[in-house]
Amino acid sequence: MPVYSAPLENIRFVLHDVLDVAQISNLKGLEEATPDMMDSILEEGAKICEEVFFPLNQVGDTQGCTRNDDGSVTTPEGFKEAYETFAEGGWTALACDPEYGGMGMPMVLNTVMKELICSANMSLGMYPGLSYGAYEALYKFGTDELKDLYLPKIVDGTWSGTMCLTEPHCGTDLGLIKTKATPNEDGSYAVTGTKIFISAGEHDLTENIVHLVLAKLPDAPEGAKGISLFIVPKFVPDAQGNPGERNAVSCGSIEHKMGIHGNSTCVMNFDGAQGWLVGQAHKGLRAMFAMMNDARLGVGMQGLGIGEVAYQNALAYAKDRLQMRALDGVKEPDKVADPIIVHPDVRRMLLTGKAFTEGARALAYWTGMKIDIARHHEDEAVRAEADDLVALLTPIVKAYLTDMGTETANLAIQTYGGHGYIHEWGVEQYARDGRIAQIYEGTNGIQALDLVGRKMGVGFGRLLRRFFHPVMTFIEAEQASPAMAEFVFPLAKAFAKLQQSTAMVAQKGLKDPNEAGAASVDYLRQFALVAMAFMWCKMAKAAQEKLQSDEKNHSDEFYESKLETARFFMTRMLPEADARFKMVLAGAAPLMDMDVANF
């Protein structure tokens, strides 16, 4: 009963009209990534998401995964065939290095595909998504021997990957892990311990599963400085690089979860399993963050993907559902009632979803393009600037997109009314599936602490300047434009208050870390709203220019819709930034002064 259509028109608008994705093909190694090439790839990607992944979304939710008596896991009906189709089409290789069989396409294209996949079937999409994280860690930190052995199989989708971090007694505080790695005589290690919440920990989609596991060596220092990273395959590769002897790693159970039932979230037991060190001893967090940063951006795309498909369904329902008459008079006299889209509150909910998804799409794709620039631009200074901006935006993209993805899913349920609460209609699944994105890969509260505790202070605000300067430049360039006034002035006011918040948090946080902690969530939200306003200004400018141009990629109605949605964001969503500003100014006292006994 749910519907999904890849929003290719909106995607092309962001890529071509707003971000000028054509510049990507000027980067070394990405010469083949022309706009026409990317459009062709996205058209095929849309088909596999709409026709192969999406029809299995409710199937996966209803059936879930099954742990068998031998410890193996069977995925829902159709998942294995869908995954094989996906891998055979080269989609697991999209943004991977051609040296290992990858297509070498840009990260911005990979970012777009993540959105489509997450809208179509978040649970199924997690399997190849986690594999790409394993690819990133091995690609950056593995020895040539490990890369030659594992990467080609991960890239072509024959093997998959996982991240094994969390243990029953520790989640965010990884310094508390108890999993041990004891050296073997052959240079490998015996890994022993239990990991929980391991997405795609065991399944039947691939012939081998490559676990990247955090563990401590016998001589490890206390805390996070004593963590090392190991690669532990389900089957130890033989001399020919094929799956050989079964390793001592097994699925103890499958977690019973609120959502993402189609993904096998496992308790994994390592009983002296053979593993190999990735990177340097006691430097595992550095390597793991290579996976985690990619994963955090990927989780942000889950928020966007869930928000998009929830919005599409709410919109379709609102146009079809007949209830009452419009407040200002009958709209469709030939029917027993008017469609609920005539009602102001339904429009508020729909426009919130529309403004979020379209603005977040621009922010996420902009981040993806900056990753490409950071990796491929010939100028080292330009690469460094782009890398700084990605580091700054990562916690914002992860937290804001997942918070709003869940909110948009809840608004979709509300639009449906009682039917939204019923399983058969499909929208309640989006709220359940999307909710985990606010939690894993670092809760959104942790993202806020990362923003104020780490990113804000780097290089005396160097990362902040990578965002602040482009915004200031844009405001200065457009503030005299009458056509842009209704968009630029709200951005300028919100940006000025963000600068005030930044100075206050930095100043108070140096004296008392609780001040930074208390402000962090509201500060991140304020920052995200300003970033979204910046994106909406750029989209409004692009729409205005296209309306005045003879060369249009879309209809006039499409561009007018962008301007109308931009107005909604500026007048109905951006004002939240002012409230968040006041919350930041409130300081730590309202939170920290109460005695624990008084709670």
Please give, one letter per residue, the 3-state secondary structure of 342-364.
HCHHHHHHHHHHHHHHHHHHHHH
**pLDDT beyond 90 at 313:** yes
Query: Which helix (H) or strand (E) is 277 found in, with range?
Result: strand 265-278
Provide the 3-class DSSP secondary structure of residue 555: coil
Contact assessment for residue 270 and residue 191, using Cβ atoms and an 8 Å cutoff: yes
CA distance 157 to 155: 5
Q: Would 449 be classed as within a structural domain?
A: yes
Contact assessment for residue 488 and residue 537, using Cβ atoms and an 8 Å cutoff: yes
**Cα 39 to Cα 13, 42, 576, 579, distances in angstroms:** 11, 5, 36, 40
**pLDDT beyond 90 at 301:** yes
**Residue 451 DSSP symbol:** I
Average pLDDT over residues 573-585: 98
Percent of the chain, pLDDT > 90? 94
Q: What is the pLDDT of residue 224?
A: 82
Residues with Cβ < 8 Å from 21, sequence gap 6 or more?
Answer: 15, 35, 38, 108, 369
Helix count and strand count (H, E) for the chain: 17, 11
Q: Which domain holds residue 554?
A: 444-587
Average pLDDT over residues 203-229: 94
Number of Cβ within 10 Å of residue 380's Cβ equals 8
Q: Would 558 be classed as within a structural domain?
A: yes
How many domains is the chain built from? 1
> Which amino acid appears at position 179 of this protein?
T
Cβ-based burial of 268 (10 A; exposed 0-12, middle 13-18, buried ≥19): buried
> Could you give the maximum distance between any two Cα atoms of the chain, in Å?
83
Active site residue 441: yes
Among the listed residues 191, 210, 76, 193, the one whose alpha carbon sits nearest the alpha carbon of residue 149: 210
The 10s digit of each residue's pLDDT in 145-166 is 999 999 999 999 999 999 999 9
Query: Which helix (H) or strand (E) is 241 found in, with range?
Result: none
Does the predicted model carry a pTM greater than 0.85?
A: yes
Q: Would 380 be classed as within a structural domain?
A: no
The 10s digit of each residue's pLDDT in 50-81 is 999 999 999 999 999 999 999 999 999 999 99
- Torsion angles phi and psi, residue 372, rounded to 5: -60, -45
CA distance 417 to 396: 31
Provide the 3-class DSSP secondary structure of residue 408: helix
Q: What is the pLDDT of residue 288?
A: 76
**pLDDT beyond 90 at 294:** no
Contact assessment for residue 535 and residue 506, using Cβ atoms and an 8 Å cutoff: no
Among the listed residues 525, 520, 483, 480, the one whose alpha carbon sits nearest the alpha carbon of residue 504: 520
**pLDDT beyond 80 at 289:** no
- Residue with tokens 């596999």, as numbered in its chain: 48
Number of Cβ within 10 Å of residue 136's Cβ equals 20
Residues with Cβ < 8 Å from 435, sequence gap 6 or more?
Answer: 258, 259, 406
Cβ-based burial of 451 (10 A; exposed 0-12, middle 13-18, buried ≥19): buried
Contact assessment for residue 539 and residue 562, using Cβ atoms and an 8 Å cutoff: yes
Q: Would 382 be classed as within a structural domain?
A: no
Average pLDDT over residues 544-554: 92
The 10s digit of each residue's pLDDT in 507-546 is 998 899 999 999 999 999 999 999 999 999 999 999 999 9
- Residue with tokens 């919130």, as numbered in its chain: 352
| Mean pLDDT taken over the chain | 96
Among the listed residues 120, 535, 438, the one whose alpha carbon sits nearest the alpha carbon of residue 305: 120
Among the listed residues 424, 415, 440, 393, the one whose alpha carbon sits nearest the alpha carbon of residue 295: 440
Q: How much of the chain is in helix, strand and coil states, percent to nearest 5?
A: 65, 10, 25
Q: What is the pLDDT of residue 46?
A: 98
**Cα 543 to Cα 132, 363, 555, distances in angstroms:** 35, 17, 10
Q: What is the pLDDT of residue 255?
A: 96
Which of 100-104, 265-269, 293-297 shows the lowest per-residue confidence on average (mean pLDDT)? Answer: 293-297
DSSP-assigned letters across all residues of 367-401: HHHHHHHHHH-S-HHHHHHHHHHHHHHHHHHHHHH
Characterize the bridge pairing of strands 228-233 and 235-237.
Answer: unpaired
Provide the 3-class DSSP secondary structure of residue 222: coil
Q: Would 242 be classed as within a structural domain?
A: no
Using only C-alpha atoms, what is the Rg of the chain? 24
Provide the 3-class DSSP secondary structure of residue 163: strand
- Structure tokens that stand for 55 in this block: 């029809």
Q: Would 308 be classed as within a structural domain?
A: no
Per-residue confidence band for 553, with pLDDT thresholds at 50, 70 and 90: confident
Q: What is the pLDDT of residue 433?
A: 98
Q: Would 398 be classed as within a structural domain?
A: no
Per-residue confidence band for 552, with pLDDT thresholds at 50, 70 and 90: confident
Sign of CA dihedral 307, 312, 315, 316: negative
CA distance 22 to 436: 35
**Cα 11 to Cα 224, 308, 513, distances in angstroms:** 41, 12, 41
Average pLDDT over residues 281-307: 89
Contact assessment for residue 327 and residue 424, using Cβ atoms and an 8 Å cutoff: no
Average pLDDT over residues 380-389: 97
Q: What is the pLDDT of residue 4?
A: 98
Per-residue confidence band for 241, with pLDDT thresholds at 50, 70 and 90: very high
> Which amino acid appears at position 399 of this protein?
A
Average pLDDT over residues 221-229: 90
**pLDDT beyond 90 at 338:** yes
Average pLDDT over residues 347-363: 98
Q: What is the pLDDT of residue 286?
A: 82
> Which amino acid appears at position 535 of this protein?
M
**pLDDT beyond 80 at 171:** no
The 10s digit of each residue's pLDDT in 117-140 is 999 999 999 999 999 999 999 999
Contact assessment for residue 494 and residue 530, using Cβ atoms and an 8 Å cutoff: yes
Among the listed residues 68, 77, 5, 18, the one whose alpha carbon sits nearest the alpha carbon of residue 261: 77
Alpha helices in 142-186 (DSSP H): 144-155
- Structure tokens that stand for 467 in this block: 């965002």
Characterize the bridge pairing of strands 228-233 and 208-215.
Answer: antiparallel
Q: Would 553 be classed as within a structural domain?
A: yes
441, 476, 486, 551: which one is catalytic? 441
**pLDDT beyond 90 at 290:** no
Per-residue confidence band for 474, with pLDDT thresholds at 50, 70 and 90: very high
